[in-house]
Chains A and B, each alone.
Chain A
Amino acid sequence: MKDPNVYIMLMSSLPSPEALFLAKRPPLSRLKLDRRLRVLAPEHARALRLTEKVVHWGDIPLAATDAELVARAKMAAREIENETVRLLIRDRLEIRTCMAALRRRLRGEPAPASGTDWGFGRWTRHIARNWTETSFRLDAVFPWLREADKLLKDGESLPLQRLILQQAWKSAKRRKGAHQYDFEAVVVYVLMWNIVDRWGRYDGEKAVERFDRLAEAALGDHAKLFGEGRA
């Protein structure tokens, strides 16, 4: 689809990404988003599907190994012709590669052997070489790595997720650049929608936790009574 009017119409029919981020839940349901995306040309719809398949956790099987994920990403990078979309995938997977390295190191694993498909992007060998350094000597590229390492060590999973999603958001926004009414803008929008959707889910879980804590505090000893009653 080369007609720019279709992209103008599509992008105008979507709430702004900033509005997405301010909202607790995406103001646009996935069903509605998919309905709007029907105007995409088959080749663009396929490229978007491939991108989401690689980037969106919901499309990744739980049992998938690192090597399978890397193979999937490489396949997508080969099949997607659009340079900006390829860079978007790379950016996102490099964040994930860094996080995978931090988690491996925290588990006490040694640096991945060269030649193994454990991560994706430009820094896999660099990370393996600088395995013992707190931020793998990548402070200049990923200034958030030290904070991520600290949060991981402290077991602060929710702030850590927030940090990761913020970085993913920033990298997508950076790649958007001057793309306003084209396929790249649509891909960035969908990736941002997924980030907000994911963050909304975390926030929901957090709200449930907070409600439980408040309920416990408010009920005080009565909570025990109810608990005893149930037992």
Chain B
Amino acid sequence: MNELVVALGWVGIYSPMAIGAIGSSIGCALAGAAACGAMLETEGGYGRFIGLTALPSSFVIYGIVVMFTLNREVTPENAGALFGIGFFAGLAFLYAGIYQGRSCADAINAAKEKPEIFGLSIAPAAIIEGFAVFAFVFALVVSAGIPAAGGS
């Protein structure tokens, strides 16, 4: 039983990075598809579209930071906490990545028709980023309370 609990602890440490990477990949792919389509239709502003495509890549960075914060010797005492924080932070980054990708695709579509609203059209994607930042910051705050090996 202890082995399973310890294994879950390791899953928890690696999850925010791995699941965050999946979220960033999907998000960038969605926004990238919109950017490619928009570039077929428009005569300029390609750099802005491509720039927006990279926006969902922040989630993998948050995931890496959370992973390093959680990284420690895994014991049956701290494995549950590592799993809970790491896995659910990763899940938050995954969904934030997917929906931010969609949001970026919408922004690209809107800016394609009306370039002057480019800045405003990014607002929904920025709000999603804000939610992911909540998940990121509170993962760091909560992880400070996880006991290190030996119960200290």
CA distance A11 to B112 in the complex (A): 12
Q: B37 contacts A11, CB within 8 Å?
A: yes
Q: Which residue of B lies closest to A5 (CB)?
A: B33
CA distance A203 to B147 in the complex (A): 76
The reply on B38 being an interface residue by CB < 8 A is yes
CA distance A20 to B35 in the complex (A): 21
Q: Which residue of B lies closest to A11 (CB)?
A: B37
Q: A12 contacts B112, CB within 8 Å?
A: yes
* Residues in A whose Cβ lies below 8 Å from that of B50: none
Q: How large is the interface on A (under 10, 10 to 19, 20 to 34, 35 or more residues)?
A: 10 to 19
- Min CB gap A18→B, angstroms: 8
- Min CB gap B141→A, angstroms: 35
Interface 1/0 per residue, B9-41 and A, CB below 8 Å:
000000000000000000001101111111011
The reply on B75 being an interface residue by CB < 8 A is no
* Residues in A whose Cβ lies below 8 Å from that of B100: none
* Residues in B whose Cβ lies below 8 Å from that of A13: 36-38, 40-41
Contact partner, B37, options A10, A19, A180, Cβ 8 Å: A10
CA distance A16 to B41 in the complex (A): 11
CA distance A9 to B41 in the complex (A): 11
Q: Which residue, of B37, B41, B113, has the highest number of chain A Cβ atoms within 10 A?
A: B37
Give 29 pairs: A residue, B residue, CB < 8 Å, sorted on A. A4-B30, A5-B30, A5-B32, A6-B33, A8-B33, A9-B33, A9-B34, A9-B36, A9-B37, A10-B37, A11-B109, A12-B35, A12-B36, A12-B37, A12-B38, A12-B40, A12-B105, A12-B108, A12-B112, A13-B36, A13-B40, A13-B41, A14-B41, A15-B113, A16-B109, A19-B113, A36-B40, A180-B106, A181-B105
Q: A11-B37, A12-B112 are in contact. List 16 more A-B contacts (CB 8 A).
A: A5-B33, A8-B34, A8-B105, A9-B33, A9-B34, A11-B109, A12-B34, A12-B37, A12-B40, A12-B105, A12-B109, A14-B37, A15-B113, A16-B109, A19-B113, A36-B40
